[in-house]
Amino acid sequence: MYLRSHRFMKSLFIAGTDTGVGKTMVAGALASALRMKGLRVGVMKPIACGGREDAEFLMDCAGIRESLDLVNPIYLREPLSPNVAAVRERKPIHLDKIMQASDIFKKKYDALVIEGCGGLLVPITNRFLVVDLISLMKARTVLVSRAGLGAINHSLLSLEALKARKIKPLGVIFNRSNGGPLSIPEQTNPKVVSGISGIPSLGIFPFMKTCTSRLAGEVFLKHIDLEKIL
């Protein structure tokens, strides 16, 4: 078990190659795994569109009681890109709310796990993308990709977007969307992506039909290389 830190260690931004690739599950599992290692873990879903269930799941995995508005500073009702949802709701997006919440977490916790929204080039405003939020928050990045067919292209495109912003991710986690034996793409995609990009694969996160916060953490520790993240 890791010793509890007396100072903030790092922010970890869980980015995705697309919407629905498993960012929430991986972010929650990471928070749970860090908690099981003895760290006090804060969590954030800076921007949510269409529901706040992701933020609530993250809090459950981290085992913390914080205001939902602190964990999720910007909430927009419609499941759209933030820039479009904000215009339709007539609710301007103020990035300072995200940074203020982040500062609070950094003062109270050893680590901060941040879940992005959608893919890297999703616009938060017309001139500010999710990938720009990573730079603003000065967070280390873990990219989550689908494990199956199509993952190579989506992963490499996302890694190129990070490289263009001079962001070097800690690695890629490939998330399975179904059970059963690994398909040939699932077996080979991590090695292909790593070989072309030079960015390590951190492992394949298995499909979880049912999930509790503790089980998610246990699965993360079993299948993902946590040492490369820390």
Query: What is the overall mean pLDDT for the chain?
Result: 95
Residue 4 falls inside a structural domain? no
Q: What is the percent of the chain where pLDDT is above 70?
A: 97
Helices (H), the chain: 23-36, 53-62, 68-71, 82-89, 95-108, 130-137, 151-164, 184-197, 213-223, 226-229
* Structural domain boundaries enclosing 64: 10-229
Torsion of CA 183, 20, 170, 4, to 10 degrees: -110
pLDDT digits (tens, 9 = 90+) for 51-92: 999 999 999 999 999 999 999 999 999 999 999 999 999 999
Q: Do residues 109 and 42 touch, judged by C-beta distance below 8 A?
A: yes
pLDDT the model gives residue 6: 45
Q: Indicate which residue of 45, 97, 138, 228 is catalytic.
A: 45
- Between vectors from CA 54 to CA 80 and to CA 120, what angle results, nearest 5°? 50
Q: What is the mean pLDDT of the segment spanning 37-59?
A: 97
In the chain, how many domains are there?
Answer: 1
pLDDT for res 1: 45
Tell me the per-residue pLDDT of 122-151, one tens digit each, with 9 for 90 and over: 999 999 999 999 999 999 999 999 999 999
The model's pTM is 0.94
Known catalytic residue: 168? Answer: no
Could you tell me if residue 101 is inside a domain? yes
> Which CATH number covers residue 122?
3.40.50.300
5 inside domain = no
58 contacts 29 by C-beta, under 8 angstroms: no
Q: Is residue 2 part of a domain?
A: no
